[in-house]
Amino acid sequence: MSSFLVSESTLQDAVTCFAGFEGKSSTRAAEDLDVLGRRLWQLNCDALYDRYGSKAVNMVCTAEECADFRWRVAILDDRDTAKMCHHLKALECLIYQCSEGDCVKSDLYNAMEVRADMLRRAIVRNLPEYQKSDSWE
């Protein structure tokens, strides 16, 4: 497996997965999501160090770059399946890139997996096939 530092765009989309859905109360303030983004980027860096050791020094973001991360405010609409798929894919990319060493044991890694599962369920509920299927009996 080859690991890399995700782009800032991918990180922005992954952080948006934690913002909540349009029309529903968000559990996180923008400042909290800034901090979350920094922590996620650091987890990605930690995974690179776990994978490549000292060779990762040229692959990771600097402490200054990480500290400068600001979440670009965007809220998902839980009726927009295509947009949810786009953001889910970004989150899954980040999860995969953080799947090294002790990173997979962290609460932050677990939070990403839980959030991805939540998005998957929301996407499936939007599918016409799901909506047309027999109801629970």
Tell me the pLDDT tens digit for each residue of 27-73: 568 889 999 999 999 999 999 999 998 888 777 777 677 788 999 98
Q: Are 123 and 82 in contact (CB under 8 A)?
A: no
- pTM of this structure: 0.90
- Which of the pair, 67 or 133, is modelled with greater confidence? 133
pLDDT tens digits for range 87-115: 999 999 999 999 999 999 999 999 999 99
Work out the pLDDT band at 23, boundaries 50, 70, 90: low
Q: Are 119 and 65 in contact (CB under 8 A)?
A: no
At 100 the pLDDT is 93
Q: Is the pLDDT of residue 11 over 80?
A: yes
Q: Is the pLDDT of residue 117 over 80?
A: yes
